[in-house]
Amino acid sequence: MDTNSTALRFLIVDDDETFSRVLSRAIKRRGYETAIAGSAEQALTMLDTFRPDLATLDLKMGGASGISLIPQLKAVNPDIRILILTGYASISTAVEAIKLGATDYLAKPADTDQILAKLNGSTPDPDVEIADKPMSVGRLEWEHIQKVLTEHEGNISATARALGMHRRTLQRKLQKRPVREEH
């Protein structure tokens, strides 16, 4: 372990205040310096005074998504390690995030240890565990919707049209949390 005189700076971007506060405290207790942003926009304004070494980003927030923040965070600090942390996890957003340079991707709920483990000891290994059960229909539907949604740059109306589904129905599905992916 490298012992720097200054603590590593940890930025939490999430619009769930309760979640942020709890996580912040847990992380601070482990010796990090933390900061909380309630939106992507707010996070950007903080970068002048707080240059993070680690960050967790939420996807679904009022305003811009955490994914859009990845390039900007990396511009400020190319060595930053970024963990996407969201309750609306999907394969397509995970793929996009990693391609943009995120270090890892976790679905909420996740505890502090899991979060730090992903940020610290994350080395790609080809022997990941492969699910032995196929996806549930609910999960498959969620993934498919997310995929089409990203293909349409998040345009809900266009996605609904492409899927031959009523826009109202799509909105309702998106508001609900995806079925938990269990191993």
Partner DNA sequence: CACGGATGTGGCAGATTGTCGCATGGTTTC
Partner DNA sequence: GAAACCATGCGACAATCTGCCACATCCGTG
CB of 173 to DNA, least distance (A): 6
Taking the CB of residue 14, how many other CB atoms lie within 10 A of it? 27
By CB under 7 A, residue 68 contacts DNA: no
Return the number of the residue (9 or 144) whose C-beta is nearest a copy of itself.
144
Q: Which two tokens stand for residue 176?
A: 């609900």
Site membership for a copy of itself, residue 140 (CB under 8 A)? yes
**DSSP H or E segment with residue 106:** strand 104-107
The length of the chain, given as a count of residues: 183
Closest CA to 116 of 16, 26, 14: 26
> CA 136, CA 178: separation in Å to the nearest integer?
11
In whole angstroms, the minimum distance from the beta carbon of 157 to DNA comes to: 3
Strands 104-107 and 54-57: unpaired
Site size with a copy of itself, rule: CB under 8 A: 54
Interface residues with a copy of itself (CB under 8 A) are 59-60, 65, 67-68, 70-71, 87-96, 98-100, 104-107, 124-138, 140-141, 143-145, 147-148, 151-152, 162-165, 181, 183
Interface residues with DNA (CB under 7 A) are 154-158, 165-169, 171-173, 175-176
